[in-house]
Structure 1
Amino acid sequence: MDAQVFRIAPAGKSGGGQADEGGKCGRCAYRTLCLPLGLSERDLARVESAIGCRRRLVRGDVLFRAGQPFGNLFAVRFGHFMTSRSDYRGERYVTGFQMAGDMLGIDAIGNGEHASTATALEDSEVCEIPYARLQALMVELPQVMEHFHRTMSQEILRDQSAIRVLGILRADERLASLLLNLSGRYAMRGFSPRRFQLRMSRDDMARYLGLTLETVSRLLARFREQRLIRLDRRELEILDMARLETLATGVQGAAGR
C-alpha cells in the first residue's frame, strides 16, 4: 500500500492546499526527543523547512528496504516500527524496535544505502527529512548538529547493549532486558513504565533476542507464574520491577554458574 504523504507548513506560515499545520515540530509531543531544547521560533521555522513531508503508513507497510539508496532520515511521529535484516542463509532477524521520537535510517549514512528494512507494526506516521537539507541545517544551527550527534551516540550505545544481551545473557535474562528496555523508553515519553502494549509479535521478539518462538512463549508463561508480569494478549503489566531488574543484570544466573 502506498503511504499517504503530507507537506508540512513551516512555522509562521498559514497552511494551504496539501500543507498540514498539525504536523509542525513545535506542536509535536516528542519534539524534545527529536530536537534540541531552546530553539527560537525563527530557528524552529528553519527546522520545519528542512522536513520534506510526513508519511502515514498502515500496519505491515514498508518504509524502506535493505539495499535501497539512502536519501532521507525518518523521525517517528507516532506508531511503532521494526527493523530487520536477512543473514547469508536468507533467514530474517530483527535488529530493533522503534517508537515515537526515534530516528530511522541513520545506519544508511555510511555507505549510502539502507542496511535494514523498516516495517510499520501498526498505523504510524513519520517525518521525512532529506539528509542534504539536514546537513545544511546543521551548518547553520550548531545545536542541531550537537543533538544529531547525540542521537547517533545513543544508537551506538543501544547496539552495544543488544550485543551484550545476545552474547552474554541467558534466554530469561534477554527477555527481561527487552521488557525493561521498552519500559524505560515508554517512561521517557511520559507513558507508564509498568503498563504498556507489546506492539511486536512473539515471533518478532524471538528473532530480536536470538531465541525460538517456543522459548519466548515458555518464558512469558514462566514470568506470569512467577508474578513478574501480567500478560493478557499483548497488554503487559510489570508486577515486580525490582525482581525483573535483578534478573536482567544476570546476577542470578552468575550465582548459579
Structure 2
Amino acid sequence: MPARNRTLKIGDIKVSCGNCSLTELCLPHGMDGPDIEKLDQIVKRQQPFQPGQHVFRAGDKSRSLFAVRSGALKSYCTTEDGDEQVLGFTLPGELVGLDGMSDGSYASSSVVLETTSICELPYDLLEDLCHSLVGLNRQMMRVVSKEITADQGMLLLLGKRNAEERLAAFLLSLSSRYKSRGLSTTEFNLPMSRQDIGNYLGLAIETVSRLFASFQKDQLLKVNRRQVVLVDMPRLRGMVEGCSGRKI
C-alpha cells in the first residue's frame, strides 16, 4: 500500500464513522455511539485514489479490509490465459478485501473506476474489536452473508438468464443499491464501462451496446453515455421476475 496512509482519530477530522452518511450500510450499522468511536479509532482514511490505481492486487499480502466512502471499485481476477474476469463492483458503503482474510493474501484485485475515497480497517485490529463488540461481530456476519448471497445470485444470473434478462437484472441491482444510499432509483451514473459490464455478465461488448440501444428503443430506459434513466421499472422487473419467480 502507498506510504501516504495515516491513522486519524475522531476530532482530528470532519469525517468519522459516527457522522458518515453511510453508517447504516457499513460496519457501524447497529452499533451505539461509544462502540462506533472504538471502531473509528482503528480506521485509516486515505487520500482519494484516482481511476486506474489499485487498492490491492491478487497475491498481495493481505492486511486490511477496505470500505468505500465515495466512488467505485472493480474487483477482478486474471485467468491462466491472461484474460481479465470481472468479479463485481464495489459502491459507497460496501466492503472489499474479504477474500484476503483466510490465507494471508488477496485472491482478487481491486482497481479504481472513478475518484474514490476509502477507509482502511486493519484485519488484526478489526478482529480484536469483533471479539469485544457484539454489534460489530454481528455486522461482520451480515456482510459475509451478503457476499455469499451475491455470489449465489450471480451464479443464477449467468446460468439461467438470457442476455436481455442479465442486463435488466444488473440495472435493477444497481437501482436497489443506489436506493439504499438515499439516491435516485431511476437515474444514476454507471461508473463501469460497457466492456466491464459485458465481462461481468458474460456478454460481448457488442451485445451490451446492442441491448442498451434496444432497451432505449423499447422505452425501457434512456441512456447518454454512462448516464442511465430507467423509464419503465415495472417492465424491467417483469423481465427478471418472469424468469426467476422472485420479486426484485
Q: TM-score, normalised by structure 1?
A: 0.90
Q: Which residue of 1 aligns with 2:9?
A: 9
Provide the C-alpha distance between the structure 2 equivalents of 1:208 and 1:46, rounded to a whole number of angstroms: 37
Displacement of 1:202 in angstroms is: 0.1
Q: 1:237 to 1:139 in 2, by over 3 A?
A: same
Aligned runs of 1:10-25 on 2, under 5 Å?
A: 10=10, 14-15=11-12, 21-25=13-17
| Secondary structure of the corresponding residue to residue 147 of structure 2 | helix
Q: Which residue of 2 aligns with 1:152?
A: 144
Aligned runs of 1:58-97 on 2, under 5 Å?
A: 58-97=50-89
Q: 1:23 to 1:4 in 2, by over 3 A?
A: farther
Q: Which residue of 2 aligns with 1:113?
A: 105
Q: Report how many residues are paired.
A: 243
| Secondary structure of the corresponding residue to residue 5 of structure 1 | coil
Q: 1:3 to 1:174 in 2, by over 3 A?
A: farther
1:212 aligns with 2:204: yes
Provide the C-alpha distance between the structure 2 equivalents of 1:165 and 1:46, rounded to a whole number of angstroms: 39
Q: Which amino acid aligns with 1:37?
A: G
Q: Which amino acid aligns with 2:9?
A: A
Provide the C-alpha distance between the structure 1 equivalents of 2:162 and 2:98, rounded to a whole number of angstroms: 30
Deviations 1:67-117 (A, max 9, x none): 111110001111111101112211101100111000010112122211111
Displacement of 1:2 in angstroms is: 5.4
Provide the C-alpha distance between the structure 1 equivalents of 2:7 and 2:126, rounded to a whole number of angstroms: 17
Quote the RMSD (CA, aligned, Å).
Answer: 1.7
Structure 2 residue runs without a partner (length 5+) = none
1:243 aligns with 2:235: yes
Q: Which residue of 2 aligns with 1:138?
A: 130
Provide the C-alpha distance between the structure 1 equivalents of 2:230 and 2:37, rounded to a whole number of angstroms: 41
Deviations 1:30-72 (A, max 9, x none): 01111132412x2222111121333420111110001111110
| Secondary structure of the corresponding residue to residue 149 of structure 1 | helix
Q: 1:198 to 1:4 in 2, by over 3 A?
A: farther
Deviations 1:206-253 (A, max 9, x none): 11001111010011110001100000111100000011011123549x
1:203 aligns with 2:166: no
Displacement of 1:22 in angstroms is: 2.0
Aligned runs of 1:225-240 on 2, under 5 Å?
A: 225-240=217-232
Aligned runs of 1:120-135 on 2, under 5 Å?
A: 120-135=112-127
Q: Which amino acid aligns with 1:44?
A: I
Displacement of 1:198 in angstroms is: 0.7
Provide the C-alpha distance between the structure 2 equivalents of 1:133 and 1:148, rounded to a whole number of angstroms: 14
Provide the C-alpha distance between the structure 2 equivalents of 1:171 and 1:9, rounded to a whole number of angstroms: 48
Q: TM-score, normalised by structure 2?
A: 0.93
Provide the C-alpha distance between the structure 1 equivalents of 2:3 and 2:154, rounded to a whole number of angstroms: 31
